[in-house]
């Protein structure tokens, strides 16, 4: 069994929250995190996009950058990028094996993956490490680091309520836990309660002269802090994420030209990703809560719902009724699938909820089977865990 399979097998341990195990791993590995300039990102929606914007800005500024995000889309290498490119598997295997050995069986998969990220970025000569929280913030494995350059908080909503609490205030308390002896930048796309919480902490809001000029399939134009920017990503939410990255870069004293170039180079899979194949339009989106689903619904409003088929699956800890209530007005048909994850919601349970919001709802044994029976505008959504299979199928066509 190779190291990738062994680390994946650690998922059977589930998710254990706390930073102690990861800190112990990092100490055994020589504290590689102490040698990096860490930009730490928490939030409900937009973490991955904001991480990509910040990374591209730093790359445009001539910095060597490591980026760690989760979950994977196509392979574990997706989670580890150096200067924007997925890390070669043979390199990643070395760092995973080192973290695995340090853990000696006493860590979860994500704790090993997190420790391996800091080791990899240090060994690969990175100056900056852009790190996305896995879940929450204060008790997330990524928060085991001793020091940071800056903390970034993206849009916040109700999520993982069994772990983080069922109020925005309790969720904010977890997210704000990444602010440790460092400045903090917060996305302006927030509920008033969230804004009040972070204003009381003295956080910097990414709202200086922010205005969206236009959005279409090609991207969004907006102004921020007196400058005009373009992102090739679809939707107003992407402009807010980009503005958050711009403010973060400004706080880090990054050159304005590099900021503009970096924003324009945004490229990330699985977030309102549109692919055209054989006369069909495929839309892949990993949004998994109602606020994260809204940009997808806005995109789908541009199509005749009778032409739209949604392939939907979810993990068991998500607001599936809330998601499907929104999606029900966007498509004529839904196909329920079970994600390939130990945390997946049972197929029949997903199907029963689908039937509450769609006139035409059917189950399928896999994403591949569902795609083979669909045409027109086909949407795969509800969980990032569905996207690997979808991308593989589409690209073979």
Q: Are residues 92 and 216 in the same domain?
A: yes
User: To the nearest whole number, what is the mean pLDDT of the chain?
Assistant: 93
> Which residue did the predictor score with more confidence, 249 or 164?
249
Condensed to tens digits (0 to 9), the pLDDT of residues 191-218 reads 999 999 999 999 999 999 999 999 888 8
Q: Percent of the chain at pLDDT above 90? A: 78
What tens digit of pLDDT does each residue of 138-174 get?
999 999 999 999 999 999 987 665 667 679 999 999 9
Residues 116 and 14 in one domain: yes
Same domain, 257 and 291: no
Question: Is residue 3 within 8 Å of residue 102, measured between CB atoms?
Answer: no
Q: With 70 as the cut, is the pLDDT of residue 63 above it?
A: yes
How far is C-alpha 16 from the chain's CA centre?
Answer: 20
pLDDT of residue 1: 76
Residue 256: partners with Cβ closer than 8 Å, 6 or more residues away: 227
For every residue of 161-213, DSSP letters joined together read HHHH-SSHHHHHHHHGGG-SSS-EEEES---HHHHHHHHHTTPEEE-TT-EEE
Tell me the two tokens of residue 154.
């993206």
Q: Assess contact for 220 and 227: CB atoms under 8 A.
A: no
Characterize the bridge pairing of strands 273-277 and 280-285.
antiparallel
Higher pLDDT, 77 or 119: 119
Helix (H, G, I), strand (E, B) or coil at 339: coil
Q: What is the dihedral of CA 269, 321, 296, 345, to 10 degrees?
A: 20
Q: Are 266 and 232 in contact (CB under 8 A)?
A: yes
pLDDT at 292: 84
Pick from 264, 295, 321: which residue ends a domain? 264
Question: Where residue 371 sits, what CATH number does that domain have?
Answer: 3.90.190.20
Residues 230 and 108 in one domain: yes
Q: Which of 236, 264, 292 is the last residue of a domain?
A: 264
Q: What pLDDT does residue 161 have? A: 56
- CATH number for position 218: 3.40.1190.10
Structure tokens that stand for 381 in this block: 């959504």
Both 298 and 160 in one domain: the answer is no
Q: Write down the pTM of the prediction.
A: 0.89
Q: Are 323 and 288 in contact (CB under 8 A)?
A: yes
Both 18 and 102 in a single domain? yes
The answer to whether 233 and 49 have CB atoms below 8 angstroms apart is yes
Are 35 and 157 in a shared domain? Answer: yes
| Tens digit of each residue's pLDDT (9 = 90 or more) over 359-378 | 999 999 999 999 999 999 99
Residues 289 and 345 in one domain: yes
Pair 241, 279 in one domain: no
CB half-sphere exposure, 393, CA atoms < 13 A? 18
Q: What is the pLDDT of residue 163?
A: 62
* Domain match, 120 and 179 both: yes
CA-wise closest residue to 335 among 368, 353, 312: 312
**Residue 8 phi, psi (nearest 5):** -60, -35
Number of domains in the chain: 2
Same domain as 145, residue 11: yes
Query: Residue 42: is its pLDDT beyond 60?
Result: yes
From 240, 264, 288, the end of a domain falls on 264
Predicted local confidence at residue 160, as pLDDT: 64
- Dihedral angle over CA of 49, 52, 54, 60, nearest 10: -140
Q: Distance between CA 345 and CA 349 in Å, rounded?
A: 7
- In angstroms, the Cα distances linking 359 to 258, 306, 328, 352, 353 are 50, 11, 9, 12, 12
Confidence check: pLDDT of 221 > 70: yes
pLDDT of res. 51: 98
pLDDT tens for each residue of 272-320: 888 899 899 999 998 888 888 988 999 999 999 999 999 999 988 888 9
Judge if 66 and 199 occupy the same domain. yes
Domain, as residue range, for 346: 273-396
């Amino acid at each position: 069994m190779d190291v990738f399979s062994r680390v994946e097998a650690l998922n059977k341990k589930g998710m254990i929250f706390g930073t102690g195990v990861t800190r112990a791993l990092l100490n055994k590995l020589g504290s590689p995190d102490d040698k990096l300039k860490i930009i730490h990102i928490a939030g409900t929606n937009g973490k991955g996009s904001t991480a990509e914007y910040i990374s591209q800005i730093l790359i445009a500024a001539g910095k060597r950058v490591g980026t760690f995000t989760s979950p994977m889309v196509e392979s574990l290498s997706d989670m580890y990028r150096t200067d924007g490119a997925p890390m070669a598997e043979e390199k990643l295997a070395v760092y995973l094996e080192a973290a695995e050995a340090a853990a000696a069986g006493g860590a979860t998969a994500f704790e090993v993956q997190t420790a391996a990220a800091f080791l990899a970025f240090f060994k690969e000569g990175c100056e900056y490490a852009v790190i996305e929280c896995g879940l929450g913030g204060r008790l997330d494995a990524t928060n085991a680091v001793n020091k940071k350059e800056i903390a970034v908080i993206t849009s916040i909503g109700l999520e993982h309520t069994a772990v983080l609490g069922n109020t925005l205030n309790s969720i904010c308390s977890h997210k704000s836990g990444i602010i440790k002896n460092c400045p903090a930048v917060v996305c302006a796309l927030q509920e008033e309660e969230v804004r009040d919480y972070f204003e009381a902490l003295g956080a910097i809001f990414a709202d200086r002269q922010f205005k969206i000029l236009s959005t279409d399939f090609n991207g969004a134009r907006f102004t921020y802090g007196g400058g005009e920017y373009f992102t090739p990503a679809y939707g107003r939410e992407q402009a807010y994420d980009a503005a958050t990255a711009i403010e973060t870069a400004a706080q880090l004293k990054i050159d304005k030209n590099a900021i503009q170039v970096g924003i324009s180079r945004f490229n990330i899979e699985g977030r309102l990703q549109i692919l055209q194949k054989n006369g069909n339009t495929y839309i892949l989106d990993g949004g998994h809560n109602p606020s994260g689903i809204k940009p997808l619904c806005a995109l789908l409003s541009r199509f005749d719902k009778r032409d739209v088929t949604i392939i939907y699956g979810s993990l068991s800890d998500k607001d599936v009724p809330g998601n499907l209530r929104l999606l029900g007005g966007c498509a004529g048909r839904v196909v329920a699938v079970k994600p390939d994850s130990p945390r997946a919601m049972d197929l029949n349970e997903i199907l029963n909820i689908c039937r509450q919001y769609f006139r035409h709802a059917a189950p399928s044994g896999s994403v591949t089977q569902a795609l083979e029976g669909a045409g027109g505008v086909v949407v795969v959504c509800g969980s990032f865990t569905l996207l690997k299979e979808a991308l593989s199928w589409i690209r073979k066509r």
